[in-house]
Amino acid sequence: MRKLPTTLLLLLTLLAAAGCNLNTEQTPPTGIPADETAVPSVQTYVDQLSGIAFDYPDGWTVSPPPPEDAAGYAITLASYNFLDPNQPGVGGMPAGETKVDVTFALPGSTVSDVRDQIETDVSGGFITLLEEQDRTFGDGASGLFIRGTDTFNTEFSQIIREVGERVVQITQYGPGDTLDLIAGSMRAVSPTGS
């Protein structure tokens, strides 16, 4: 019974991400920093609902938090101001810019549940997988890295990992190593009210 909400959440996330990424001049994510020695200036986002915090590049735009009763939801971060209707990128992603969706799966979901949903999406023709690797993070948590294209032929990279009791999908469109920064910095914190 839990597969339908998980399927719907993943499909909505992919469609929303694709709708925000209508630019035809795209640079695929590389996962390789431009300067290996540069240490980026970062800010920390604390998701009060899940009790998960992560770092992201300083100066990026972050979507407003979800409603307090949200179960499965996403936070969008971007190197451009997607919230200002007068800025480039509203209705599409500007060339050379990067967008990351951090999707918090429904409580009780596992990495295997999300992986099964990806297989369903591949079988249904919604995504094409180009690469898949197991990952282990600095905190010892295991996860999965995938790179693929969606139905609009937009390339994306995604990491699926557990943080505490929650499964998180981090999906990057555009260039850079922000995917690794966010996924590698995820940590459990005390949610509000606990």
Read off the CATH number of the domain in which 116 is found.
Answer: 3.40.1000.10
Confidence of residue 91 (pLDDT cuts 50, 70, 90): low
In a domain, 34, yes or no: no
At 38 the pLDDT is 60
For residue 31, is it within any domain? no
What Cα–Cα distance (Å) separates residue 175 from each residue in 86, 119, 194?
Answer: 23, 25, 38
Range of the domain at 99: 3-22+39-188
Rounded to whole angstroms, what are the CA distances from 75 to 54, 130, 134?
A: 11, 25, 24
What is the distance between the alpha carbons of residues 53 and 75, in angstroms, rounded to a whole number? 12
Is 55 within a domain?
yes
Establish if 28 belongs to a structural domain: no
Residue 47 domain flag? yes
| pLDDT per position as a tens digit, 41-59 | 999 999 999 999 999 999 9
Q: 194 lies in a domain?
A: no
Residue 62 falls within a domain, yes or no?
yes
Number of domains, the chain: 1
Query: Is the model more confident about 28 or about 172?
Result: 172
Q: Two tokens at 193?
A: 């009210």
- The closest alpha carbon to 104, from 170, 58, 40, 187, belongs to 170
73-78 and 155-163 beta bridge pairing: unpaired
SS3 string, the chain, reads CCHHHHHHHHHHHHHHHHHCCCCCCCCCCCCCCCCCCCCCCEEEEEECCCCEEEEEECCCEECCCCCCCCCCEEEEEECCCCCCCCCCCCCCCCCCCCEEEEEECCCCCCHHHHHHHHHHHHHCCCEEEEEEEEEECCCCCEEEEEEEEECCCCEEEEEEEEECCEEEEEEEECCCCHHHHHHHHCEECCCCCC
Nearest to 97 by CA among 23, 4, 162: 23
pLDDT in tens, 2-12: 444 444 444 44
Q: Quick one: which of 164, 148, 181, 7 has its CA closest to 77?
A: 181
Judge whether 10 lies within some domain: yes
Lowest mean pLDDT among 51-60, 82-91, 112-121: 82-91
Q: Which of 162, 114, 101 is nearest to 135 (CA)?
A: 162
- Mean pLDDT value of segment 3-24: 43
pLDDT of res. 46? 95
